[in-house]
Structure 1
Amino acid sequence: MPSYSDIMAVILGGGQGQRLYPLTLERAKPAVPIAGKYRLIDIPISNCINSNIYQIAVLTQFNSVSLHRHITNTYKFDKFHTGFVQIWAAEQTMEHKEWYQGTADAVRKQLFEIRTTRAKYVLILAGDHLYRMNYSKMADFHWEKNAEVTVAVQPVFRSEASRFGLLKLDQSSEIVDFTEKPKDPHILDNFVTRDDPEQPFLASMGIYLFNLDVLVDLLTMQSGKKEFNDFGYDIIPYCVSNEPAVFGYEFSGYWHDIGTIRSFYEANLELTLPRPRFDIHDQYFPIYTRGRFLPATRISNCVLNDVLINEGCIISEANINHSVVGIRSMIRSGTRIKDSVLMGADFFDYTGEIPVGIGKNCDIEGAIIDKNARIGQDVCIKPFPIGTDYDTDAYSVKDGIVVIPKNTILPSGTKICPEA
């Protein structure tokens, strides 16, 4: 009988992450902090561990040092456990001189490593999605259907449909048609498969389970003179049109693609609500991250409402509403923070003319403040109209959200406002 120990999980570390710039200025997309203490990569790794899948590899290429450091410091199985979380960095070899050319090409270049694990099935995952999913249920579905390829699918809104691969299922859940990120309205209409007028489409979640022998055949074959370099554009359409049996596993839980600054911002702020759709306070399906020896947060004479506050913070006489406050955040007296994501700091530092953290009497709204930022006194940051985009040396505005990059110093009295 198949076993979950036969499954190898391969998490794609992603490319430059340009849509999350400047959060990806110095780090890979899966290393971007979320909820004040986690990294995006913690989501798929935690899902694997909670699904009894313990052979995990993360494929990395771009700005990967902080991602490597986080994984190395976080995921250490004991010597009596057969599991592992390994980093497979892009490399030049005698067979492959170029870097990863796409999602499928990244896996192709690591087939030797995959084979050495003696896994019989390969689970392909993305490193930039927010969701809680038991992959073992998807594996059970795969085995029950005698599938060779299984794609996790979910209903999506019409307004979002062009961002995803859309598909049709027959009564047995086999995929009978597939198109990747269609822009033509006529093509969209052909993929209406659900009676729900709000979510009439089924979309690929970018989660694939392959029989190893089928995956090897697909990655080593060529279509004409062109190799299959991408799962969504190449592999899955070919499978649907040809021999491998491809099935769709319907997932009804919360799933959010953290692909843009706006989606990242909104996903973080939703975690502050009393009943968020994705609840990090789940004792049965926890999200793991690096264990830190930090003191409890100290709060003095503050007004707080819908705030997610992490360890090691010192907050004095502040008014904070609907915001995320990351680890080691220093927020000084008289400061007001609203609808903002503060990522905190990597260290405690009270020195310098402008110490790490938020200075006195600041007014911050609609902002993302990356780690180790030094914000002086009397700084004002306000949101811009949705759709506003521009960059400066000190900050960026993305879809109206002000983003203060990592290690930035904002002098006292700085104004970042639409009317400024």
Structure 2
Amino acid sequence: MTDKVISIVLGGGQGSRLFPLTATRSKPAVPIAGKYRLVDIPISNCLHSNISRIFVLTQFNSASLNKHIKNTYHFSSFSTAFVDILAAEQTPTSGGWFQGTADAVRQSLHHLSVHEFEYVLILSGDQLYQMDFDEMINKHIAAGADISIASIPVHVNDVPGFGILKTDTDGRITSFVEKPKSGFDALVSEVSDEMKAEGRIYLASMGIYIFNRKVLYNLLQSNDHTDFGKEIIPQSIKTHKVVSYQYEGYWTDIGTIPSFFDANLGLTDEIPAFNLFGNRPIYTRARMLPPSKISGTHLERAIISEGCIINASHITHSLVGIRTRIGFDTTIESCYIMGSDNYQTLEQIATSKANNEPIMGIGDRCQIKNAIIDKNCHIGNDVIINCGEPLPNGDFPTHTVQDGIVVVKKRAVIPNGTVI
């Protein structure tokens, strides 16, 4: 049935909750796990589910995302497969920005209409999970549903942060409340015994939807509602058959700096909740990089991407992204270092050292803890970042502090001896 499906990945708005990582790139283009981009997660899930016609909707800072898509997802000339970017555009019928998730899809319907399909799979671009969409689609068809919503059991403490579904014994959704603040008892749904034992008896929307083609077109063209979760879904429950597809695997929304930080560092666990080492790889840009070279470094719970040159003394509970240089006697703890887009030449390195300027990467004798180092940063020698008391939140020229996490901005230059 997947040959009758088109997928739409929603790129999100300005991504202000992920600032400064989204200062110069869209949310789907944010690097994750040292070598991937966020957009690779939903696209890989689609491709593993044999869904190979994919549109990515975006409107803010889309240049790096366009470049990544162009350089990554290539298909045979004889294939109907594609991954295309759809940015907000002026047309005779619409002249403004996307006003919400539903409005973004509404403004893109004319691009879908040239294809043959019966179902539309709508995904978020800022989540970490592995799901078989083929199974969800088959259950959608078997149930005779108009709309299916992927849901995940959550604890009562998590309820106010999600759209919560209430289902009957057949899995049909009878009510939907966006981020409820009270009346939780009326929203308890039937879940598995394992979920009950964990106290996860509420069903939260994962922001993953399947619409029958005619239903989607009718809903979007008959009104001017702009959001699926707040408007389209709650009203559709009264007029259409809307069912829940219950998912109990790993899933997290990584739309904030703390959740993004935790999701990345969680990959270093002995048995991570999100498995990078299974038989369903995450697809990303193929880079012809050399193996990493590591000299005299004690590594513990560390993930090192390809193309790195590392002379640090200790790297603990950290991810090190592609092409990262780390100097002698440096210690890295609980950090995500995104790496670099290119190498400096020997001549550039010599010039920087002669001028007492930091080279790209991390210098000698640094102590860095609880930090995200964005791409292409120049961090000098003897730099200390967040190794004392937790820092107050704030935005500064070279970095931002949020919930005790220091985010060094892309291309920032941190002089020798700096203490943050």
1:241 aligns with 2:238: yes
TM-score (norm 2): 0.94
- Partner of 2:56, secondary structure, is strand
Question: Residue 298 of structure 2 aligns with which residue?
Answer: 303
1:360 aligns with 2:364: yes
- Separation in 2, partners of 1:138, 1:197: 24
Letter in 1 for 2:259: S
Range moving further from structure 2, 346-355 or 29-38: 346-355
- Separation in 1, partners of 2:307, 2:198: 47
Quick check: 1:378–1:414 contact (8 Å CA) kept in 2?
Answer: yes
1:318 aligns with 2:316: no
- Separation in 2, partners of 1:381, 1:266: 18
Range moving further from structure 2, 190-199 or 388-397: 190-199
What displacement does 1:385 show?
6.5
- Separation in 2, partners of 1:249, 1:132: 14
Question: Residue 200 of structure 1 aligns with which residue?
Answer: 201
What is the aligned residue count?
A: 406
1:257 aligns with 2:260: no
Letter in 2 for 1:378: D
- Partner of 1:49, secondary structure, is helix
Q: What percent identity do the matched residue pairs reach?
A: 48
What displacement does 1:157 show?
2.2
Match of 2:376 among 372, 376, 381: 372
Question: Residue 228 of structure 1 aligns with which residue?
Answer: 225
- Partner of 1:415, secondary structure, is coil
Question: Residue 153 of structure 2 aligns with which residue?
Answer: 155
- Separation in 2, partners of 1:302, 1:384: 23
Quick check: 1:384–1:402 contact (8 Å CA) kept in 2?
Answer: no
Within 5 Å, which residues of 2 pair with 1:53-64? 53-64=51-62
Match of 1:397 among 394, 398, 401: 401
What displacement does 1:190 show?
2.4
- Partner of 1:238, secondary structure, is helix
Range moving further from structure 2, 357-366 or 381-390: 381-390
- Partner of 1:339, secondary structure, is strand
- Partner of 1:116, secondary structure, is coil
Letter in 1 for 2:386: K
Quick check: 1:152–1:207 contact (8 Å CA) kept in 2?
Answer: yes
Match of 2:11 among 5, 10, 13: 13
- Separation in 1, partners of 2:332, 2:391: 22
**Distance change >3 Å, CA 38–CA 14, structure 1 → 2:** same
TM-score (norm 1): 0.94
Letter in 2 for 1:343: M
Quick check: 1:367–1:383 contact (8 Å CA) kept in 2?
Answer: no
What displacement does 1:94 show?
1.1
Quick check: 1:383–1:401 contact (8 Å CA) kept in 2?
Answer: no
- Separation in 1, partners of 2:389, 2:121: 41
- Separation in 1, partners of 2:312, 2:230: 53
What displacement does 1:198 show?
2.9
- Separation in 2, partners of 1:159, 1:364: 33
- Separation in 1, partners of 2:197, 2:397: 46
- Separation in 1, partners of 2:158, 2:388: 23
Range moving further from structure 2, 353-362 or 382-391: 382-391
Within 5 Å, which residues of 2 pair with 1:1-400? 3-182=1-180, 184-186=181-183, 188-193=184-189, 195-196=196-197, 198-222=199-223, 227-242=224-239, 244-282=240-278, 284-349=279-344, 351=349, 352=352, 353-382=357-386, 388-400=392-404
Letter in 1 for 2:258: R
Range moving further from structure 2, 356-365 or 113-122: 113-122
What displacement does 1:317 show?
4.1
Letter in 2 for 1:404: V
**Distance change >3 Å, CA 317–CA 221, structure 1 → 2:** closer
Quick check: 2:391–2:401 contact (8 Å CA) kept in 1?
Answer: no
- Partner of 1:147, secondary structure, is coil
What displacement does 1:196 show?
4.6
- Separation in 1, partners of 2:179, 2:376: 37
Letter in 1 for 2:289: L
**Distance change >3 Å, CA 12–CA 386, structure 1 → 2:** farther
- Partner of 2:113, secondary structure, is helix
- Separation in 2, partners of 1:12, 1:384: 39
Range moving further from structure 2, 192-201 or 312-321: 192-201
What displacement does 1:9 show?
0.2
Task: Let me know the Cα RMSD of the aligned residues.
Answer: 1.3
Question: Residue 193 of structure 2 aligns with which residue?
Answer: none
Letter in 2 for 1:237: P
Letter in 1 for 2:264: N
**Distance change >3 Å, CA 160–CA 383, structure 1 → 2:** farther
- Separation in 1, partners of 2:145, 2:322: 44
Quick check: 1:383–1:400 contact (8 Å CA) kept in 2?
Answer: no
Letter in 2 for 1:204: S
- Separation in 1, partners of 2:37, 2:94: 31
What displacement does 1:386 show?
6.8
What displacement does 1:281 show?
0.8
Q: Which structure 2 segments of 5+ residues have no match?
A: 191-195
Quick check: 1:55–1:84 contact (8 Å CA) kept in 2?
Answer: yes
- Separation in 1, partners of 2:387, 2:259: 15
What displacement does 1:197 show?
6.0
